[in-house]
Amino acid sequence: MSRIGILTLYFGNHNYGGILQAYALQQALQLLGYDAKQISYILESGYPSSHYKVKKYGLFLKPWIRRMKFGADFSNREKKIDEFAARIPHTKTVAADTIRKTNEEFDTFICGSDQIWNPMGWQKELMLSFADKGKKKISYAASVARDQLTAEEAKYLWESIKDFNAISMREEASVQALSRYYPEAVKIKVMPDPTLLLKREEWVKISSSSRMQKPYIFGYFLGNQDGQKEEVIRYAEKKQLDVWFIGDMKLSHLQWEKEHSSHILHGIGVKEFLSLILNAQVVFTDSFHGAVFSSIFETPFFVFQRFAGGDKLSMNSRIDTLMKTLGIERSVHGAEEAEGRTAFTGEELGKIRENLALQREKGLRYLSQSIGDGKTANG
């Protein structure tokens, strides 16, 4: 049986979607019968900065600094996410200078998904440069998190991954961007996000029970457009529904959150996050994973674009790919566009269920075939 090491944005990741996709890929491989673990790689160790020293030698100070500066909620939330992450099978902590030791533990390495190949955070380790000759190297739904690549970026990426045994990306636009410079890259497969590899009941099983007493709208936003949240609040008032948001993980919206504190939920861990989507009347979001879990739970949702059209750093293709995959269209420019469309139609539900099943089968088949054969370059 192949022993598989998964390299993704797992260790120290306090983003709900990021840690859930890490959980999902490990669980999917386990369900397929493989011995798979997340590699606890300290991401900061691959950057030439002093931040790694702070991370390495000052971990015990971080929670206290966070608590003093931003209050107890942020620290409690991080603690809950860390507790969830700790239950995912994983290795001992490794850094850029020690990750090669994992060759002693694994036969196959899989990198992906999330934004592991985002040009703004490239590291050769995230492209499995440490894997010894003869080890199988696979990418699963690796996300570049960009709709466009420069010639220089495309060259770096292709030269780093062209010897993989199997390559897949999460966004069709990323494959197109790379194949513009390297036509052979057109063979790269587009695979569903790892969270789509698990069935609805598997996610319901790990979500917490709802703590809400009344029907509500859930708003989950990662972008900087506070105006979108204001629109959701007005929409909720019109519908006479409660509306709830989670405090921003980047702490960049503290002033807005203070002004709207009656709508902010505190101490939300991973299981509570899932529950908020599962039990909502409707979800408004600009998050890829916010839309993904709404689809899985069959909770009606609407997606705001986080980036302006033409933005070179745009990640909008993630949502475009998801909508195409599901066979529905739930993108909006304003909350008022949700009027009269809140509930899924029977046709929409049928497409969601059918396409999620197809994507799950597609992803699991790719993993089985990629791990099970010795072909190279997407053979």
Q: 16 near 270, Cβ under 8 Å?
A: yes
Chain mean pLDDT for the chain: 88
Structure confidence by residue, pLDDT tens digits, 197-246: 999 999 999 999 998 989 999 999 987 778 899 999 999 999 999 999 99
What's the rounded mean pLDDT across residues 4-25?
A: 96
The CA-atom distances, in angstroms, between 78 and each of 83, 269, 289 are 9, 8, 18
Q: 366 near 140, Cβ under 8 Å?
A: yes
Protein fold of 3-197+359-372 = Rossmann fold (3.40.50)
Say what the pLDDT of residue 375 is: 41
Cis peptide before 113 (omega within 30 of 0): yes
Structure confidence by residue, pLDDT tens digits, 312-353: 544 557 788 889 899 998 988 888 888 878 889 999 999 999
What is the biggest distance separating any 2 CA atoms in the chain, rounded to whole angstroms? 62
Topology alike, domains 3-197+359-372 and 200-356: yes
Q: Whole-angstrom Cα distance, residue 199 to residue 155?
A: 37
Say what the pLDDT of residue 109 is: 98
Q: In the chain, where are the structural domains located?
A: 3-197+359-372, 200-356
Place of tokens 């790719």: 366
Q: Whole-angstrom Cα distance, residue 201 to residue 303?
A: 24
For residue 16, count other CB atoms closer than 10 A to its CB: 27
- For 151, the token pair is 């010639």
Say what the pLDDT of residue 248 is: 72
Say what the pLDDT of residue 198 is: 98
Structure confidence by residue, pLDDT tens digits, 155-179: 999 999 999 999 999 998 899 999 9
What share of the chain in percent tops pLDDT 70?
A: 86
What's the rounded mean pLDDT across residues 65-77?
A: 59
Q: Whole-angstrom Cα distance, residue 316 to residue 40?
A: 29
What is the pTM for the complete model shown?
0.89
- What is the architecture, at CATH level 2, of domain 200-356? 3-Layer(aba) Sandwich (3.40)
Q: Whole-angstrom Cα distance, residue 94 to residue 15?
A: 21
Q: Environment class of residue 310 by beta-carbon count within 10 Å: exposed (0-12), middle (13-18) or buried (19+)? A: exposed
